[in-house]
Amino acid sequence: MATARSCGALGANYNEKLIWIKHDELRRVNAKWIRGFIDMHQIDSHHQDQDPNMKALFRAIDAGFNAILSLKWNYTSLDFPASGSSELAAELNVLDRLLPLVLGKVDILVIGNEPFIEAKLDQKNEHLNVFYETMARAVIEFRQKHDDTMKTRLYMGALNRLDLPSKHTSEIERFLHFIAVTPELDGVDIHPHMMTFDGHRSMLEYCLARIRPEQTFLATEFTMVWHWKAHMNDTVSSEFCAKYGLSPSTKNHEIISVAMQNPWPLEQWKEYLFNEPWYMQYQNFITDAMRLYRSTGRLAVATYSLCPMRMRKLPLKHDDTPWMLNGVYAPSTVRLREDGSRCENFPWAEEFRRAQGEE
């Protein structure tokens, strides 16, 4: 088990799709770390070790990969349980059954996935803070009772869009303060999905100023996806349209939908992306982001998506978020290779390898 403290590693993120882990895909791009999350309201609480995502996670660990597991509690349509309630007791019971399976096995456990997104609007207050503080204390107390679990590092998060002053709420301040004053926590997890590259810098500065100097951070998701989304209703480059006989009014979301319905050869997909200035503007994004994160001296691990929306066939609407543009491996817009494996995405597979080498 590798130490996570300031190691500055770059790994692969699978979100809720740990079942998509393919060891050969990880090895092709030299990835040694994996990350995903478990939905605590969806997992069979009495047979957690039989959950397909958990089994995929353990297979990867047994194969020698380091692992980050985040715990998601979805309260988008529920109120957080009151202190002393049967609902809270039920949450703690599920957690108590999971912890013996993962502590001492995963390298890092993150208490939360995206707490401030996965909560009702009227619950993004002290109720959220109390709930996550309660979960954190339960994890800490369990770990303290079992010496063999102490090697699993603990983080809380993940926090989003803290480049925006409007997100600097008292609840966010309390969340970060709790991390800072809790010695058993190694730091904070962040998800810098940004519109501009400067957003990554400002979010880091905000978070790191509010935790202890010796604490570190994770970036278990990071992209320029809001920048991509802002260009989905732009027209496709005239060169590409002319070459492939497309209407000059074709929009980016429309051409991506066409490719998903009838996947292209990899070279055609690369040609489309290469001719889009809004995309090529950030062709060195992974390298640049990892240099920024590592320059703080406080990055534990960052994980980047290997292949989001790898199976999507539904049309991409003009206001959809184009997550498929981010993956290290090409999405369903690109034909599989002759051996049935996925092609590497442009330019992210090369970027991913380069950033690994700069560790």
- The residue whose two tokens read 């496709």 is 236
Mean of the per-residue pLDDT values for the chain? 95
pLDDT the model gives residue 356: 84
What are 11's strand-pairing partners?
303
**How many structural domains compose the chain?**
1
Are 139 and 182 contacting, i.e. CB atoms less than 8 angstroms apart? no
State the CB neighbour count (10 A cutoff) for residue 101: 16
pLDDT of residue 358: 62
Residue 4 has pLDDT above 80, yes or no: no
Residue 1 has pLDDT above 50, yes or no: no
pLDDT level of residue 357 (50, 70, 90 thresholds): confident
Tens of pLDDT, residue by residue over 280-309, are 999 999 999 999 999 999 999 999 999 887
The structure tokens listed for 141 are 């107390």
**Can you state the angle between helices 285-295 and 197-208, rounded to 10 degrees?**
20
Query: Is position 94 within any domain?
Result: yes
pLDDT value for 44: 86
Phi, psi for 180 (deg, rounded to 5): -65, -35
242 in any annotated domain: no
**Would you say residue 238 lies in a domain?**
no
What is the arithmetic mean of pLDDT over 5-13? 87
- Calculate mean pLDDT across residues 309-313: 81
Q: Which CATH number fits the domain that encloses residue 183? A: 3.20.20.80
Domain annotation covers residue 92: yes
Structure token digits, residue 73: 């509690």
Whole-number pLDDT of residue 2: 46
DSSP string, 311-335: T--S---TTS--GGGG-SB--TTBP
% the chain with pLDDT above 70: 98
Q: What range defines the domain where residue 211 resides?
A: 9-230+277-357
Q: Is residue 47 part of a domain?
A: yes
Helix or strand run (H / E) with residue 190 = strand 187-191
Q: What is the mean pLDDT of residues 148-155?
A: 89
Residue 109 maps to a domain: yes
Report how far apart the first and last C-alpha atoms of the chain are (Å, whole number). Answer: 18
Q: Which two tokens stand for residue 71?
A: 């715990």
Largest separation between any pair of C-alpha atoms in the chain: 67
- Quick check: is 255 in a domain? no
Residue 262 placed within a domain: no
Q: Where are the alpha helices (DSSP H) in 182-312?
A: 197-208, 225-229, 238-243, 252-261, 266-274, 277-280, 285-295
Residue 246 sits at the vertex; the CA angle it makes with 337 and 230, to the nearest 5 degrees, is 80
Residue 116 pLDDT greater than 80, yes or no:
yes
pLDDT for residue 359 is more than 80: no
